[in-house]
Structure 1
């Protein structure tokens, strides 16, 4: 029975670009589409309930799509 660990034994020279973190300059919070109340609720880590949807609607009315930007990196 082998006790080797494939990931641990893989030399760093054999790693691919997929093993690296995405640079901050390439990360985006929105796709340019409208932000829905459901988007805001989910980005906040909340359940989609009538109460949370109303909170999101108020937040979007006050802050616009920037409300989502404030929640995401």
Structure 2
């Protein structure tokens, strides 16, 4: 039985997305809640305080470090 080959002109799952298409900045301020959610943690008083401190020291770059 002959197996069909995938169309070479179609999208491939093993291709990487170009860096120019990857971005996390929305043009808005990064909130402590954004930072907590980006880490996969639950929003709790403790995690929000951690995020506030991280944003104070690193600014919006804190989110960029967590996301591609």
- Say whether the fold is shared (TM-score over 0.5): yes
Q: Of Structure 1 and Structure 2, which has the larger fraction of its residues in helix? A: 1
Moved over 6 A (4+): none
2:28 pairs, out of 26, 29, 33, with: 33
Aligned length: 65
The CA distance in 1 between the partners of 2:32 and 2:49, in whole Å, is: 8
Offset of 1:60 from its aligned partner?
0.5
- Higher RCO (C-alpha 8 Å, min separation 6): 2
Tell me the TM-score normalized by structure 2. Answer: 0.76
Matches within 5 A, 1:21-60: 21-60=16-55
Q: Which runs of 5+ in 1 are unaligned?
A: 1-8
